[in-house]
A and B are shown apart, each in its own frame.
Chain A
Amino acid sequence: EDQVTQSPEALRLQEGESSSLNCSYTVSGLRGLFWYRQDPGKGPEFLFTLYSAGEEKEKERLKATLTKKESFLHITAPKPEDSATYLCAEKLSGGSYIPTFGRGTSLIVHP
C-alpha cells in the first residue's frame, strides 16, 4: 500500500534556527512529490513539485530536495510567520491522478 511518512510530527524552532523536515515516500513508481503548507483552519497551499532524484526548488526561506528514497524541506533562518503544518504528498505511476498525503509536520517558530 502507498505510504508517505513525515518526520518529525512536530518541530519547535527559535527564529533564525534553520532545520529540515523529512518525507519518506514509496520508492517504486514515484512520478511526483508535492509539498504543501497548511495554516490552522485553512486549506493546504501548494509550495513545490519535485519529479526526479537530485531536483531542488526554492521559494524564499524554503528549499525542497528529492533523493532516491526521501524528500527534505529545508527552512533557512525561519520567521514566526513560517509557523504552519507542512504536508508532503506522492503521486505514483498508474492511471490515478490522486496523490497520497502524509500526516504533516507541525512547525512552530518562536520569536
Chain B
Amino acid sequence: DTGVSQDPRHKITKRGQNVTFRCDPISEHNRLYWYRQTLGQGPEFLTYFQNEAQLEKSRLLSDRFSAERPKGSFSTLEIQRTEQGDSAMYLCASSPGTGPYEEQYFGPGTRLTVT
C-alpha cells in the first residue's frame, strides 16, 4: 500500500498562469476528495468524486477551478488564471467508498505559491 501521492509537491507560478495538480489515490479507493488549506486553518473542501463522477463541489470552487477523474483512478485539479489568493496547500484524500462515515487518507499536498 503506497498511500496517496500528489505531484508536484511544490509549485511557484506567476499570477495569471494556469497550473495543474495530480493526485493518485490508494488503489481500489472509490472516493477521492480535494481540499485547500491555508496557514492556521483546517482543510476546506473543494470537490469530491465517486469513481469518475464528480458528485459535490464547494461554493469555494470558482469557475477558474476544474477537476477531473477520467477513469476513476487518478485525478487532476486545474486552476486557470491564478490569483495571489490561490496560494495555499492543496490536499487530496481518498477513502474506500464502503460506507458513509469512513475516514479519509490524505496525500502530502501540493504547496502553491502565486507571485
> A residues touching B (Cβ–Cβ < 8 Å)?
4, 31-32, 34, 36, 41-46, 49, 51, 87, 89, 91, 96-104
Cβ–Cβ < 8 Å partners of B111 in chain A? 41
How many pairs of A and B residues are in contact by the CB < 8 Å rule? 57
Given A42-B109, A98-B48, CB of A49 within 8 Å of CB of B42:
no
Q: Does B67 contact A (CB under 8 A)?
A: no
Q: Which of under 10, 10 to 19, 20 to 34, or 35 or more describes the interface residues of B? A: 20 to 34
- Contacting residue for A45 out of B41, B101, B102, B106, CB 8 A: B106
**A32 touching B42, Cβ below 8 Å:** no
Q: Using a CB–CB distance below 8 Å, which chain B residues touch chain A? A: 4, 31, 33, 40-45, 48, 56, 91, 93, 95, 100-109, 111
**Residues on A with beta carbons closer than 8 Å to the beta carbon of B103:** 34, 46, 49
The answer, among A51, A87, A96, for a CB contact under 8 Å with B42, is A87
Evaluate whether A96 and B43 lie within 8 angstroms (CB atoms) in the complex, with A43-B93, A49-B103 already known. Answer: no
